[in-house]
Amino acid sequence: MGNHGSNLDDILAEDMHHWYNKFMRESPSGLITLFELKAILNLKGITENANSYVEQVFFTFDMDGDGYIDFVEYIAAISLLLKGEINQKLKWYFKLFDQDGNGKIDKDELETIFTAIQDITRNRDIDPEEIVMLIFERIDVNGEGELTLEEFIEGAREHTDIMDMLKNLMDLTPVLEIIVNGRQAITDD
């Protein structure tokens, strides 16, 4: 994973004109739909949870809620994930985890997302249920079974092991590399 960072740092350092050309090659209309994102990522035959996760990622990147990811949203999302400050990333994670949009994360939402991520990445090193139990054990100090944005950010920042787990689990570098490098990376296999 160490060389992912330097490779993507180099990619981000490229000028906007180059980025724009890559984006337009992938999506000549200037907009990426959910269907196109799934095609770019070559996601076929994924589980229902994994499909829900991809949809949640899409709708989180679709900042204006118009059903498309445009160039500005595309650059903002990639920049956030690669270069964003930790508070920005934690807010993005929270929005992604909060599937019902009620401003709180419960255990089921978190476990569903972690399971879906593992379905996509095929990385099953840690049991999602164990991760969720640990997070709630450490962060949900009131024992309510839900985390607010403030609790989530504060708790993650206070517990470096949880922060490291989140960073590892939420590493979208392989996904971003496919998006950045275009479909060519998929078709060369």
Residue entry with tokens 């993650």: 156
Which pLDDT does position 102 carry in this prediction?
A: 93
Which pLDDT does position 22 carry in this prediction?
A: 75
**Alpha carbons 102 and 36: distance in angstroms, whole number:** 28
Q: Which residue would you say has higher pLDDT here, 136 or 173?
A: 136
**What's the mean pLDDT in 72-92?**
77
Q: Is residue 139 part of a domain?
A: yes
**Alpha carbons 117 and 128: distance in angstroms, whole number:** 10
Q: Is residue 1 part of a domain?
A: no
Residue entry with tokens 């470096």: 160
Here the CATH number for the domain that contains residue 133 is: 1.10.238.10
Share of the chain above pLDDT 90, in %: 15
* Predicted model pTM: 0.66
Q: Is residue 157 part of a domain?
A: yes
Range of 149's domain?
14-181
User: How many domains, the chain?
Assistant: 1
